[in-house]
Structure 1
């Protein structure tokens, strides 16, 4: 049974954990500001920028851990989030 449910994921480094917690706090604050300001495009675009940066950091972390498939998925999400942010901010 352990053959099918191996734990492949390596532990994140302390730096990536700190950055992840800081990004989650910033995203939570930004999400609450977005809701309070009735989903203004400036706040929504900034939220997507931070989501893209967070996905890009996850992609870098996975690339360092030599997990190529997960790295590509996170990089794809980063591109989608950053493209959405640029289209929202530069209307």
Structure 2
């Protein structure tokens, strides 16, 4: 898969403005897809925290895959807040 160029993420305010400005069904479908992605990422982040806490309480230490996932989630959160 080709790497995407760097770009500024779309904010929720910008997404709402695009939705209002462009009634075209394809544009609206794309805005819904972006909003869905943002919600899915929030849920994945929440589930990560639940799994990580459970792992630490039952097993102790860190699970490598969770540590990698945490890094990915942190990067995505930071990007979304730009």
TM bucket, shorter chain: 0.3 to 0.5
Q: Which structure has the bigger radius of gyration?
A: 2
TM-score where L is the length of structure 1: 0.42
Structure with higher RCO (Cα < 8 A, 6+ apart): 2
TM-score where L is the length of structure 2: 0.45
